[in-house]
Structure 1
Amino acid sequence: MANATTPAATEAGGASAPPDIATVRATARRLLAADAESFEAAEVAEVAEMTARLREDIAGLIPAVEALTRALPKDDVPRACALACLGEARMRLRLGDGDTDRVRLSVAVRMARTANALADHHQALGSRVVGRPQTPAQAGQTRQGAPTRAGHPHPQPAKEIP
């Protein structure tokens, strides 16, 4: 099985600017919609192309999110969440493309979810560093309308666990 990894130079900051967040989200949405319908509805070449594009986007978002985390205190919870997401993103970049169509789609969907999560963290941390809201999460709402913690892209837990 071929192992498609991102070169260390790109991951370490070779990319000068992060990819356009709206484009990343649009690509991810298309892949997630293809997963929901079925693999037969998605063309193999298109899935491979979108996966390659998401690999590049993830590789570009990693140094951007990493730079934003450096501006935050070490004990900051959103910073810790973003760092965990960065570890997950690096792991996803080490995934191979897969030997079968089903595995290729599975890898593509995982890339899409990871790209979405990185985009969330990039926007959330960017607004905290700059000091202005950029997403509904900073305004206190998630996509589902649940209240969030200030500056954190994930919804607030239903209740605290003692």
Structure 2
Amino acid sequence: MISTKETTAGTAPVDIDTMRHSISQLLGPDAPPPAGDKLAVLDSLPRGHMQLIIPEIEQAALARDQDDVPRYCALACVGEARGKLRATAPQGEHGALTHARKLARTLAALCDHYEALTDVVMCLACDQPLREDEEALPYDHVSPSGSATRAGSIHARCAHAVRRH
């Protein structure tokens, strides 16, 4: 699957990879706390991404049945996201960083909902999207009782990777 997805005519594509990169700059385990001008930029990135992805999530959600659980969850997340977009950051650098991280976590949830609503398939080994141009293998993790506990696909490159469940 391609994570940069063309949307309706006249709109920009949703680039999930770029959005997730912006998130990692604020929430990644190796991300140093940004300060000054960099913090202002890193606060504006999730805002802009959220403004792009929210209409796409709404469109995908509203195309589903009214009693569809992913639809309901995605629309609830959109409501929460709009509330966070309206909120202002507390004064000071610490308040701004806290607010930017809240936006990043909300954007991460929106990306997850977008992928769920648009049927993006994830690799069960590395938790990254399976793209159309990548070789994928079927995968069934078999439990000791003999039944499959997780069925799906993995990247061919992940087939020999060690993963602890």
TM-score (normalised: structure 2): 0.65
Q: Which runs of 5+ in 2 are unaligned?
A: 1-9, 128-140, 142-148, 152-165
How far 1:43 moved relative to its partner?
2.3
Instruction: Spell out, residue by residue over 1:68-123, the C-alpha distance to the aligned partner (whole angstroms, 9 max, x if none).
Output: 01110000111111011001110110111331111101110011011111111111
Paired residues of 1:65 and 1:125 also in contact (CA < 8 A): yes
Q: Which runs of 5+ in 1 are unaligned?
A: 1-14, 128-133, 149-162
* Identity percentage of aligned residues: 34
Q: Name the structure 2 match of 1:94.
A: 86
With a CA cutoff of 8 Å and minimum separation of 6, indicate the structure with the bigger relative contact order: 1
Residue type at the aligned position of 1:82? A
Instruction: Spell out, residue by residue over 1:11-50, the C-alpha distance to the aligned partner (whole angstroms, 9 max, x if none).
Output: xxxx92354110000010110137x7664xx222112101
Instruction: Identify which of 97, 107, 113 aligns with 1:115.
Output: 107
Q: Name the structure 2 match of 1:124.
A: 116
Instruction: Identify which of 110, 131, 135 aligns with 2:121.
Output: 135
Flag the structure with larger Rg. 2
Q: Name the structure 2 match of 1:83.
A: 75
Secondary structure, aligned partner of 2:118: helix
| Pairwise CA RMSD | 2.7
Matched pairs, number? 122
Q: 1:124 to 1:37 in 2, by over 3 A?
A: closer
Higher helix share: 1
Whole-Å separation in 2 of the counterparts to 1:105 and 1:52: 12
Higher strand share: 2
The list of structure 1 runs, each at least 4 consecutive aligned residues, that deviate by more than 6 angstroms after superposition, is 139-142
Whole-Å separation in 2 of the counterparts to 1:57 and 1:147: 32
TM-score (normalised: structure 1): 0.66
The answer as to 2:44 corresponding to 1:52 is yes
